[in-house]
Amino acid sequence: MGEASVRQLVKDGAKVAIMDVDEVSGNRIVSEIGNSIFCKTDVTDEKSVQAAIAKAMEAFGAIHFALNCAGIIGSAKIISKKGSIPIELFTKVLQVNLVGTLTVIKNAAEKMLANTPNADGEKGVIINTASVAAFEGQIGQAAYSASKGGIVAMTLPIAREFADYGIRIVTIAPGLFETPMLGSLSEKALESLVQMVPFPKRLGRPSEYARTVKHIIENPLFNGSTIRLDQAIRMGAR
């Protein structure tokens, strides 16, 4: 979804800094789309995030929007036949999904403060990625749901704070999408998931997420809310 968004935004005239731990994919995308740079970034390491943002500032002179897509699942029951969930696993999911999101938010927002405001007084836009698991987490998703629920919960208070600075913040909560997270599942498992989707009865496409990102950036009335991009799905317990 992050890659699709990068491609969409560059197509529309943006200059983009891709921040990821995957150097191979990041550099490949840069070579394919142009008007972009790659910054190897670990969102759990604030110094890494700060270095990437400094690189983006050096390349482009300003940051007008930031999109948080980094995330891991870390599926595990609290108690199972293998024993209880390792606290290290729970903490890692929170560090990547929730703390990593906030780390990017605060460091990107600091740079946005220097931007010249538009007619509405807007200086920047921040978009986060949650999940429908924030609302209907399944068995084994305690860590993932907690991390995504945290992103949803902090969106409004940050929007209220950033209103004084002219910075909007919006969260997208995707349903079931064609992503690497689902790519490892068998065809039978994928079909079972699709059957839970009311309409349209298929997996969401990354390009559809990217179009939502574009619309949020372009529509100044989106602020402080979480948009469910989920085809009316409500996840079952399993």
pLDDT in tens, 34-69: 999 999 999 999 999 999 999 999 999 999 999 999
pTM above 0.85, yes or no: yes
Sheet strands side by side (includes 167-174): 65-67, 124-129, 167-174, 226-229
H-helix segments, the chain: 2-11, 23-33, 46-60, 87-94, 100-112, 142-162, 180-183, 187-194, 206-218
**Tokens 């305690």 sit on residue:** 142
Distance CA 173, CA 59 (A): 31
User: Does 189 score more than 80 pLDDT?
Assistant: no
pLDDT in tens, 96-120: 999 999 999 999 999 999 999 999 9
Question: Which helix or strand (DSSP H or E) is residue 127 part of?
Answer: strand 124-129
Domains of the chain, earliest start first: 64-229 (3.40.50.720)
Active site positions, annotated: 144
- Of the candidates 100, 97, 35, the residue with the CA atom closest to the CA atom of residue 71: 97
